[in-house]
Amino acid sequence: MESSGKKERRPRRSFTPGFKAGIVELCRRGDRSVGQVAKDFDLTETAVRDWVEQADVDAGERGGLTGSEREELAALRRENRRLREDVEILKRATAFLREGDPVTVHPFIAAEKAAGHSVKRACELLKVSRAAFYARHTGVPGPRAVRDAELNEQIMAVHEQSRGTYGAPRVHVVLKREGAGCGRRRVARLRRQAGLTGRRRRRRHRTTISDPQAATRPDLVLRDFRPDPATVDTRWCGDITYTGAP
């Protein structure tokens, strides 16, 4: 088989800072050239020379950016690139929603996905659950939706067993006793979505508060309120109805 004459591209490898420091130390000893060190460790001479130069910069023996400064610069460039992408996503989202599409942003995210853009970042910027988007996009409910449906059935069963008297805290206690792992807020949310409410015990309102220091009045009729035709118009009684203030 004839060779094409092209050199195969070496796969990209990563090296630890300790390994690089060891190679630099071997080069600085002077008993072997940079090319020989690179050959002995199956490295490229260019990479080894870059490591030596960077070590000189870090030690202050040569001008240039230190390793920490290079890392900071690379991080800033990544952040700048991410911010530019965020601005472009928001610009496209604004134009997309101005065209009269539904208020939901799922169609826009689907368009971003079709164009090869990041669905994850679009969902983060537009405050949309990525799982909810994929569930709606594929028509397959996510794990949370499936679990909510299961809990809905259990909540309905407990609600019927209690004859509609239990509220969210007591329903949560029953579900927890039965081994259903869920939080009370989740139970309250599902009950609210299903339109379920429990019964509340009415508060007793005191309408008469006696004054122990007030003078008592004598009982002139001796608690005798029986009608007597012979004594008409001699005893009067009344009633007071209390109404709550608005």
Could you please report the per-residue DSSP string of the chain? ----SPPPPPPP----HHHHHHHHHHHHHSSS-HHHHHHHTT--HHHHHHHHHHHHHHTTSS-S--HHHHHHHHHHHHHHHHHHHHHHHHHHHHHHHHTT--S-SHHHHHHHHHTT--HHHHHHHTT--HHHHHHHHHS---HHHHHHHHHHHHHHHHHHHTTT---HHHHHHHHHHTT----HHHHHHHHHHHT-----PPPPPP-----TTSPPPP-SSTT-----GGGTTS------------
pLDDT at 178: 87
Number of domains in the chain: 3
Considering the domain architecture, whether residues 151 and 114 belong to the same structural domain is answered as no
d(CA 15, CA 223): 103
d(CA 245, CA 184): 34
Identify the band that residue 6 occupies on the pLDDT scale cut at 50, 70 and 90: low
Cα four-point dihedral sign 81, 82, 85, 87: negative
Last residue of a domain, one of 29, 44, 64: 64
Q: Looking at the domain assignment, is residue 160 inside a domain?
A: yes
Q: Looking at the domain assignment, is residue 102 inside a domain?
A: yes
Considering the domain architecture, whether residues 43 and 78 belong to the same structural domain is answered as no
Summarize pLDDT for 49-94 with one digit per residue, the tens: 888 888 877 777 776 666 677 777 778 888 888 888 777 777 666 6
Q: Decide if pLDDT at 203 tops 80.
A: no
pLDDT at 1: 43
Identify the band that residue 243 occupies on the pLDDT scale cut at 50, 70 and 90: low
Identify the band that residue 139 occupies on the pLDDT scale cut at 50, 70 and 90: low
Summarize pLDDT for 141-192 with one digit per residue, the tens: 667 778 888 888 899 998 888 888 888 888 999 998 888 888 889 899 889 8
Identify the band that residue 97 occupies on the pLDDT scale cut at 50, 70 and 90: low
Q: Decide if pLDDT at 219 tops 50.
A: yes
Per the structure, the complete domain to which residue 79 belongs is given by 73-138
Q: Looking at the domain assignment, is residue 246 inside a domain?
A: no
Considering the domain architecture, whether residues 181 and 131 belong to the same structural domain is answered as no
Q: Looking at the domain assignment, is residue 10 inside a domain?
A: no
Considering the domain architecture, whether residues 51 and 82 belong to the same structural domain is answered as no
Considering the domain architecture, whether residues 58 and 78 belong to the same structural domain is answered as no
pLDDT at 99: 44
Is there a contact between 108 and 94 (Cβ–Cβ < 8 Å)?
A: no
pLDDT at 67: 66
pLDDT at 230: 79
Q: Looking at the domain assignment, is residue 41 inside a domain?
A: yes
d(CA 65, CA 78): 18
pLDDT at 100: 40
Q: Looking at the domain assignment, is residue 245 inside a domain?
A: no
Considering the domain architecture, whether residues 77 and 134 belong to the same structural domain is answered as yes
Considering the domain architecture, whether residues 127 and 93 belong to the same structural domain is answered as yes
Summarize pLDDT for 11-60 with one digit per residue, the tens: 777 888 888 888 888 888 877 888 888 887 888 888 888 888 888 777 77
Average pLDDT (217-226) is 81
